[in-house]
Amino acid sequence: MTSVTDQKGFAERAFANFGQARDLKKRLWFTLGALIVYRIGTYIPLPGIDPVALKQLFDQQQGGILGMFNMFSGGALSRMTVFALNILPYISASIIMQLLAASVPSLEQLKKEGEAGRRKIIQYTRYGTVLLASLQGYGIAVGLESSGGVVLDPGVAFRVSTVVSIVGGTMFLMWLGEQITQRGVGNGISLIIFSGIVANLPIALAGTLELGRTGAISTAFLLILAVMIVAVITIIVFVERAQRRLLVHYPKRQRGARMHGGEATHLPLKLNTSGVIPPIFASSILLMPLTFASLNVGNEQGGVLAGVAAALGRGQPLFLMLYSALILFFAFFYTAIVFNPKDTADNLRKQGGIIQGIRPGANTADYLDFVLTRLTVVGALYLVAVSLLPEILISRFSVPFYFGGTSLLIVVSVTMDTVAQIQGHLMSYRYESLMRRSGFHRLGR
């Protein structure tokens, strides 16, 4: 009874803190408003396109790579709007910059220059986004023209207007994502992708139930699909919260007449340090070169491009192999970027921290690298399993993409990260309130 009462009291205090945290409410309203603007933009069509012919074209190709692209764009691709590419060119440019920063000495030096270097890398990423969006926009324009009947007035004017509209839409989304990150709650880029997937979940659910009603899929499979979705979500929540905690001891130090230190703490290493980044990066890499190929499949001159697009269809062996390989690569690559064992070992040595049984310095760095590598192997295999196993079932039974492992991973992970940030804001507000009530704010006067 006491635990239930305590939980109720905690919930009441959290709700009261939320009601008084004005800054958090402003951030939440800003985030919601920005996402509404994004959703409105997914319905602003490109000029000069016949919507009926476009729908027919997309219905023919939505079972392959084009359907996955449409999922990430929040349905904007199927409507061929100014946000057709969504934020994927920016993600692709970020991947390229991170790969170059790890191999080009001049870019690697920029990373060590602090805030100034970071701003230069961000600026280069924006330039890369413009270039990639321009190339993909031109590919979309040419592909639409070659599809027959989709473009009302083909020619240079249509291609220029399409490229300008798509590049402008992509750059606006990049700016909007940065604004959400700075002035809102959560990671703006992830929330844009998240909102696109969630917005189409009701339609996907209704379509799946309709398939069951018409007998296209059996009731038993619907139950299996529901169990699979619940199981995948449970696994995602469990693994994303899983940590390996290394015990770190700090020696006692005397400062004046008092003894400080002597306590022990934990260094947490997440099982999946890279988070949801590897599946997003892998999808972006697969989607980037196939924008033109997928839209050009109906053309008799498609040839090799049509064959490549077909080979990379949902559930095809080549798609599964490339997708798995890219997820594994980016799991290790991104983990190496966000966690440096050598820097962590140096910081522990400077603070006097010792991992029991491991000498400070190089030995600690080697041990951290050993533990992190083992964790990353497990985390990468988990990402591959979660991303591919549902894809195989879905490709066999024509269930919407939104119930795939990648979409569920994005939805669950982004939700957990956003909720954690909200809790962090509430804890910060509560701490500041306690400080004000206790009179500590007067010490600054």
Q: Is the domain 24-444 a CATH 1.10.3370.10 member?
A: yes
Q: Is the CB of residue 11 less than 8 Å from the CB of residue 125? A: no
Residue 11 is predicted with a pLDDT of 46
In the chain, count of helices (H) and strands (E)? 19, 5
Three-state DSSP class for residue 116:
helix
The rounded distance, in Å, linking the Cα atoms of 438 and 429 is: 14
Burial of 436 (C-beta count, 10 Å sphere; 0-12/13-18/19+): exposed
Residue 54 is predicted with a pLDDT of 82
Adjacent-strand bridge partners of 261? 252
Quote the tokens at residue 283. 């999808």
> Per residue in 303-328, is it b (16+ CB within 10 Å) or e — as a string?
eebbebbbebbbeeeebbebbbebbb
Q: Is the CB of residue 64 less than 8 Å from the CB of residue 309? A: yes
- In this structure, the number of other CB atoms found within 10 A of the CB of residue 69 comes to 27
Residue 301 is predicted with a pLDDT of 46
SS3 content of the chain, % helix, strand, coil (to 5): 75, 5, 20
Segments making up each domain of the chain, as ranges: 24-444
Residue 309 is predicted with a pLDDT of 63
Quote the tokens at residue 115. 């805030």
Residue 3 is predicted with a pLDDT of 46
Q: 325: number of CA atoms within 13 Å, CB side?
A: 8
The pTM is what?
A: 0.79
- pLDDT means per 10 residues, the chain with 445 residues, are 46 54 85 93 89 78 62 80 88 84 79 79 91 88 80 89 93 93 89 87 79 78 82 88 85 61 78 85 72 51 59 72 90 86 85 81 89 92 84 65 71 86 78 65 48
Amino acid in position 206 = A
Ranges of beta strands (E only) in 329-428 are 354-355
The rounded distance, in Å, linking the Cα atoms of 37 and 83 is: 11
The strand order across the sheet containing 354-355 reads 264-270, 243-249, 354-355
Adjacent-strand bridge partners of 253? 260
Place of tokens 């062996």: 317
The rounded distance, in Å, linking the Cα atoms of 413 and 311 is: 30
Residue 390 is predicted with a pLDDT of 64
